[in-house]
Amino acid sequence: MNTSSLKAAKGKVLLVTSSVDSILLKDGANAVAGFYLNELTIPMEAVVAAVYDIVLATPRGNKPVLDRSSATAAHFDNSEEALQRALEFVEKYPAMQNPVTLQSVVENGLDEYIGVFVPGGHPPMVDLMQDPYLGEILEHFHNNAKPSAFLCHGPISIACSVRDAKAFRAALTEDNIAAAKKASEDWQYAGYRMTVFSNDEEHYAEKNVFGGHKAPFYVADALTIAGGKLEFAEGGIFKPHAVVDRELITGQNPPSAPELARLFVKALNEISARVEV
């Protein structure tokens, strides 16, 4: 039995995932996509173990789609037991079975949430980065200095809070840097230190996941254009790396999940302690 379930929750965490299951690539090809298993479950299992409740929200209120290629023990230190526990979390944990819409989260009030988390996989590049309700949510978290964590491609979601998110994404897909800069003026995260899936890692994905097709744009370039101060792991691709700047916590890639989980829970505990006092 999970003894944490016997304790009163210390707060509520909003888990946000994409509603889509594919991504349109640069040349018009359509690629199947979904959330990465370890990127969602490692941080969320840590959150649950730290005695926080989770609410899952997506733009359409549908259950998110798993990228089946991520369901491998290699993403869990080669532990089949950890892999099966992660799959069970996705398939059986109550919050994962009862998603709500981002709109309903906004309409029901955001004060009850003390943290927000967005995992990766490519889908956030499609809908989350231009979702107006997520923009309202992140504005609330930013203004109230509440822990806001994003992993791998998840950090591109913070682009939903630029001045004109739809125009920003359109400009990126058209390689119109001037228009992208204009659409992202006065961004609330401008000047923040952050990380995200690197261009070199995306090149690897283009070759090994997308069959040589190009991504519609590069998330690292996008956040740089908007005003983010990007930092990446040294020593090659797929090295763990996480960055904390004020309320913003970002992780670079799938191997960064454990460190991001640690930093996120630490931040949740700090704000929970302040609320109790």
Fold of 3-276: Rossmann fold (3.40.50)
Residue 34: the pLDDT is 98
Residue 277: the pLDDT is 42
Domain residue ranges of the chain, discontinuous segments joined by +: 3-276
pTM of the model: 0.95
Residue 275: the pLDDT is 64
Residue 8: the pLDDT is 79
Q: Give the pLDDT band of residue 273 (cuts 50, 70, 90).
A: confident
Q: Give the pLDDT band of residue 230 (cuts 50, 70, 90).
A: very high
Q: What's the alpha-carbon Rg for the chain, to the nearest Å? A: 17
**8 A C-beta contact, residue 7 and residue 110:** no
Q: Give the pLDDT band of residue 1 (cuts 50, 70, 90).
A: very low
Residue 169: the pLDDT is 98
Query: Could you report the per-residue pLDDT of 33-89, keeping only the tens digit for each?
Result: 999 999 999 999 999 999 999 999 999 999 999 999 999 999 999 999 999 999 999
**8 A C-beta contact, residue 274 and residue 247:** no
